[in-house]
Amino acid sequence: INISMFPPSNACIGRYILNMQITSCGHTYQRCLGDFYVLFNPWCADDPVYMDNQAHREEYVLNEHGILYEGVHKHITSRPWHFGQFEDGILDICLKILDMGASYHHGSDRDHCWRNDPVHVSMVVNHMISSHTSNSIMKIPENNDYLKGTKPFSWNGSIPILQQWYNGRCRPVRYGYCGSLASVMCTVMRCLGIPSRVVTSFCFPCSIENPLGVNEIFDCTGKILCGKDKLWRYHCWNESWMARRDLNQCCGDWQCLDPTPLETGRGSACSGPTWVRSIREGELDLDYDGHHMFSRVNSNYVGWLSQNNAKKTRFFCDTWPCGQHLITKSVGSVQFEDITGAYKYELGSVKNKEAYYRAYRRIHPGYCNASNCHIDRELSSLKNPYLSDSGINMRLKMANCPMYGEDVQLHWLLENLRNENKNLKFNLCAQIITYSGFPMDQFWKDSVDVTLGPREVKKIPLCISYSQYGPYLCDHNIIKVVALSDPECGEVLMVSRDIVINRPPVIVKLLSQPRLKVPCTAEISFCNPLQEDMKNCVMTLEGCGLFKEPMTIDLGTLASNQQARTVVEFTPYRLGSHRLLANFGCHKF
């Protein structure tokens, strides 16, 4: 007997058991024929996750290899990530996540009725990634302290994280960051059949008091002080494709899901799903958490000078608007795709202003009946004046692209826009900044007197040596350089630059052609570029389809300019496109 089943498009996803009952001569027999899984189907036109583009289905459902984008908006870095949604046992882990998180949205999961709705499924997964109190998949370290767990940036893929959570009785894995949280969620969603991708936004505000403004406070030396607000250098979240029947959508579109718990003023919480188009249009009443997502790509930056911890004044500066660069991996390519236009209209355009006014009135009910001019005046009163208003233009330009061990070279460009002399005194400083905007050690300070003749342009070279920044950098490879004019000289001018210190490359070379179930070798090499020893050196290798488990190699101590070479052997255990990922760590990073 051949049995065929045709699950309807509204069937609940999950594991099913197929039983057969036979009645013969007055006797009834029960037999279990086996089990099977039902998933969302982006190839089925009746399914709410239907995606009609085959190239997009291959990228957002079938591709196990991804790229995470990090750094700062003027220096974007990337690193590979292994989603591994088709690895053995991952589907069972993903269904376990739904079991553990079912009570979040529905209180009881006895009827499983919500599991045919990708909106509710995505909300449960989003909550389970890091917001669940005791059974979330991953924790974020408090105050950047991760001594009791794994370094957040040392993960290469989602599989070890999910396996550790499942095998550890569903206790949170320590530790992750926004990139690993979004990537793990992408793995779970793709495994369940929902097209998904990881998005990175640069200059991401996290504000407590004013949803549409983020404050950064400096002292007179240029050092950033720790305040309530944080300006994240970048932030990653997840987008998933589905038709929102709750919003009467008949076709699929991208929905924003942010699994990282962020402070909102009413406690920390994850966000979404939020229809991306509603963010662009400023339709904040339409969807879940729309006001949070709109604020995070449309906030205004406000810089303050704090004097004697009492008086705060706004200084002259040119700032990069928040959320002006959003990117994701391109379809079928290793390059990134700029998707800023999906979240907001072009800055300054009529549609951009209309969406902002619409959102502003919903976020601030007191302005519900205010005119556009009234809102513009309110916004102008909160912004920093431009440098050009003071008669001076300044910027910091990189003269090199520094790697660990190399000096940082900058050119400080100043231009006098007036027909009169300018005599200024500047305080210069450099400080370590985490990706989440948390200020750390200020390791370099200087002061410079600058004289500019009428309409004069001057270029001043700046150098920060490795010996100055090296002892403080650690895992946080972002340095903030600030030039701030002395408040006693009159108007306060500020220019700053975020600098990414590139990590030394790990080189992977295949020594033989990979074949299914045939041993293959690869050489992994790394050179210590520092003028000092690297201690506690560890190489972590991962390759879906190549290794069953991640491989850790202890390299001990590497002397200055010493090159470490390691030859590893593995046996590919399934067909397909595979990627061997190598991650190097030591006491420095």
By annotation, the residues acting in catalysis are 178, 235, 258
**Cα 575 to Cα 516: distance, rounded to the nearest angstrom:** 6
If you compute the radius of gyration of the chain from its CA atoms, what whole number of angstroms results? 27
Read off the tokens for 281. Answer: 């249009």
Determine which helix (DSSP H) or strand (DSSP E) holds 60, and give its type and residue range.
none
- The DSSP secondary structure of 86-114, one letter per residue, reads TSTTHHHHHHHHHHHHHHHHHS--SS-GG
Read off the tokens for 350. Answer: 């009529």
Name the burial class of residue 385, with classes exposed (0-12), middle (13-18) and buried (19+) by CB atoms within 10 angstroms of its CB: middle
Closest CA to 215 of 367, 347, 322: 322
| Measured distance between the N- and C-terminal CA atoms of the chain, rounded to whole angstroms | 62
**Residue 179 identity (one-letter amino acid):** G
**Residue 233 identity (one-letter amino acid):** R
**Cα 331 to Cα 9: distance, rounded to the nearest angstrom:** 27
Nearest 10 degrees: Cα torsion 159, 165, 166, 167: 100
The answer to whether residues 566 and 524 touch, using CB atoms and an 8 Å cutoff, is: yes
What is the 8-class DSSP label of residue 375?
H
The answer to whether residues 505 and 533 touch, using CB atoms and an 8 Å cutoff, is: no
